[in-house]
């Protein structure tokens, strides 16, 4: 087997000129700027008017209508109603791509090349070999785009203007990456593990989307190469036939349509590691990707604690005397949710909500609190989550140039009539 990154296989898997434009077949539905695009309805500041005007619902192949952010590459977010259960349906799961040349991969043709300078040998695996030769593993975990809620930043920052729906929670099934790496042998000088997908850029000189992980994260028992999602094969737009699953870490590391895994002894220096997806150093209390830290910046790693109220909208009218059911979801980077508190008086007092079933420390956790609507007038409903590590959502935005880690406490304005 050759040491290069499956360039021949990559060519066989790609659509070609006609197929690369197949997203033109997307079916537009009615414009729903007021319903879909208004982040104010979720209790946050407005998305910029220009981005708001471009938001529509579109029916991607195999998907329910999702909120369109960009066509090419396809970036579509999940409407809030699909977060009213802890598991996000496959056909409602958000879609995020960086490059427009998306591969159409047949399971029978797919191969995973594993090796690198810090591996003992090079091997290639078929999908059937992964399923037959390795112990299966399963985990429930949130996949969240690093830029989720970027469109809610004030002042606004550049990038895809995501609202609250660039995320989803699923039961992922596949095999442990550490078991695959054990087959090739992890040498003592291994520093990072580098991952390559089957997609490609359509403009020359655009860097390929290549990501790396610290070797200790790659060897963690929870890091998977998954080929099933919620009991079914991965949807095409979510990484079929196999993708990387890195529970707790933001979605940029969850490489879709994975075809190459390399153990290396030096930090990966491609654009997507050395320039993109970086934060000012020490800005957040998240684990450090030590081999990728520079003097001024470091890569984003795990998610910060967050929550989302899904049962109410700002501006909603509630009949006087009727109980108000405050329901939603909370999540973090893997410590697990310890508590969710709800306030109905703009944060003057807080009541502890009841947590739903624990599906694992990487999963969405449901919460519920029923409060009376005793007095007519305006009411501000808020929710704040605290993780088992003691991290709590923030009251003020921690601004950063890339628009990451928006976990400001949500504020919903409702009217009791």
The domain that holds 157 is classified in CATH as: 3.90.420.10
Do 388 and 255 have their domain in common? no
Do 323 and 219 have their domain in common? no
Strands annotated E in 295-387 = 297-299, 306-309, 317-318, 324-331, 337-343, 351-352, 354-355, 365-371, 377-387
What is the torsional sign of CA 77, 82, 83, 87? negative
- The 10 Å CB-count burial string (b at 16+, else e) for 78-92 is bbbebbeebebebeb
Do 272 and 324 have their domain in common? no
Do 120 and 46 have their domain in common? yes
Q: How far apart are CA 190 and CA 242, in angstroms?
A: 24
Do 7 and 151 have their domain in common? yes
Element (H, E) at 182: helix 177-184
Q: How far apart are CA 337 and CA 334, in angstroms?
A: 9
Q: What are the backbone dihedrals phi and psi of residue 278, each rounded to the nearest 5 degrees, phi first?
A: -125, 155
Do 346 and 379 have their domain in common? yes
**Beta-strand relationship, 111-115 and 123-126:** antiparallel
Domain boundary among 279, 301, 323: 301
Please enumerate in sequence order all residues whose Cβ is within 8 A of that of 275, keeping only pairs 6 or more positions apart, or say none.
none
Domain boundary among 259, 274, 301: 301
From first to last of its 417 residues, the chain has per-residue pLDDT tens of: 333 334 443 333 332 222 333 333 344 443 343 345 456 778 776 666 666 666 789 989 999 999 999 999 999 999 999 999 999 999 999 999 999 989 899 999 999 999 999 999 999 999 999 999 999 999 999 999 999 999 999 999 999 999 999 999 999 999 999 999 999 999 999 999 999 999 888 887 889 999 999 999 999 999 999 999 999 999 999 999 999 999 999 999 999 999 999 999 999 999 999 999 999 999 999 999 999 999 899 999 999 999 999 999 999 999 998 899 999 999 999 999 999 999 999 999 999 999 999 999 999 999 999 998 888 999 999 999 999 999 999 999 999 999 999 999 999 999 999
CA angle 132, 134, 139 (to 5 degrees): 110
**What single string gives the DSSP state of each residue in 18-36?**
HHHTGGGG-EE----IIII
**Beta-strand relationship, 192-197 and 211-214:** antiparallel
Do 257 and 318 have their domain in common? no
Q: How far apart are CA 44 and CA 316, in angstroms?
A: 15
Do 401 and 275 have their domain in common? no
> Domain holding 393: CATH number?
2.60.40.650
- Reference 163, options 45, 275, 252; nearest CA is 45
Do 242 and 119 have their domain in common? yes
Do 134 and 253 have their domain in common? yes
Domain boundary among 301, 329, 347: 301
Strands annotated E in 364-417 = 365-371, 377-387, 410-416
Do 266 and 354 have their domain in common? no
Domain interval for residue 255: 1-301
> What's the pLDDT score for residue 49?
65
Do 55 and 190 have their domain in common? yes
Domain count, the chain: 2
* Helix, strand, coil percent values for the chain (each to nearest 5): 15, 35, 50
223 neighbors 177 (Cβ within 8 angstroms): yes
Question: Long-range contacts made by residues 397-402, C-beta under 8 angstroms, separation at least 24?
Answer: 397/153, 397/154, 398/283, 398/284, 399/153, 399/155, 400/157, 400/279, 400/280, 400/283, 401/157, 401/280, 402/146, 402/147, 402/157, 402/159, 402/277, 402/278, 402/279, 402/300
Is pTM beyond 0.75? Reply is: yes
**What single string gives the DSSP state of each residue in 106-135?**
-TTT-EEEEE-TTBSS-EEEEHHHHHHHS-
Q: How far is CA 260 from CA 5, 8, 28, in A?
A: 6, 12, 35
* DSSP SS3 for 143: strand
270 neighbors 196 (Cβ within 8 angstroms): no
């Amino acid at each position: 087997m050759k040491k290069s990154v499956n360039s021949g296989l990559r060519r066989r898997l790609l659509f070609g000129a006609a197929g690369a434009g197949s997203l033109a077949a997307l079916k537009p539905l009615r414009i729903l700027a007021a319903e879909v695009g208004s982040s104010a309805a979720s209790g946050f500041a407005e998305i910029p008017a220009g981005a708001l005007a471009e938001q529509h619902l579109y029916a991607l192949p195999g998907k329910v209508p999702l909120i369109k952010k960009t066509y090419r590459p396809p970036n579509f977010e999940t409407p809030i109603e699909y977060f009213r259960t802890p598991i996000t349906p496959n056909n409602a799961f958000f879609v995020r791509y960086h490059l427009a040349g998306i591969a159409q991969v047949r399971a029978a043709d797919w191969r995973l090349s594993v090796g690198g300078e810090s591996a003992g040998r090079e091997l290639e695996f078929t999908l059937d070999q992964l399923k037959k030769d390795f112990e299966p593993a399963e985990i429930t975990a949130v996949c969240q785009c690093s830029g989720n809620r970027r469109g809610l930043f004030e002042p606004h920052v550049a990038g895809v203007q995501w609202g609250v729906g660039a995320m989803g929670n699923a039961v992922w099934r596949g095999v442990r990456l550490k078991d695959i790496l054990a087959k090739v042998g992890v040498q003592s000088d291994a520093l990072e593990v580098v991952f390559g997908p089957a997609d490609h850029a359509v403009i020359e000189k655009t860097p390929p989307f290549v990501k790396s992980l610290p070797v200790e994260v790659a060897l963690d028992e929870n890091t998977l190469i998954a080929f099933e999602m919620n009991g079914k094969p991965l949807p095409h737009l979510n990484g079929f036939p196999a993708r990387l699953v890195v529970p707790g870490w933001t979605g940029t590391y969850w490489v879709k349509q994975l075809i190459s895994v390399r153990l290396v002894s030096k930090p990966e220096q491609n654009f997507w590691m050395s320039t993109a997806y970086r934060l000012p150093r020490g800005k957040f209390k998240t684990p450090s990707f030590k081999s990728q830290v520079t003097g001024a910046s470091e890569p984003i790693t795990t998610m910060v604690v967050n929550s989302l109220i899904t049962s109410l909208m700002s501006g909603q009218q509630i009949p006087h005397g009727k109980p108000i059911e405050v329901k939603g979801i909370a999540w973090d980077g893997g410590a697990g949710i310890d508590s969710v508190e709800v306030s109905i008086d703009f944060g003057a007092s807080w009541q502890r909500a009841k947590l739903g079933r624990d599906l694992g420390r990487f999963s969405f956790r449901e919460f519920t609190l029923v409060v009376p609507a005793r007095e007519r007038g305006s009411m501000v409903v808020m929710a704040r989550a605290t993780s088992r590590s003691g991290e709590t959502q923030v009251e003020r935005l921690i601004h950063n140039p890339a628009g990451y880690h928006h976990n400001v406490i949500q504020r919903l304005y409702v009217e009791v009539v």
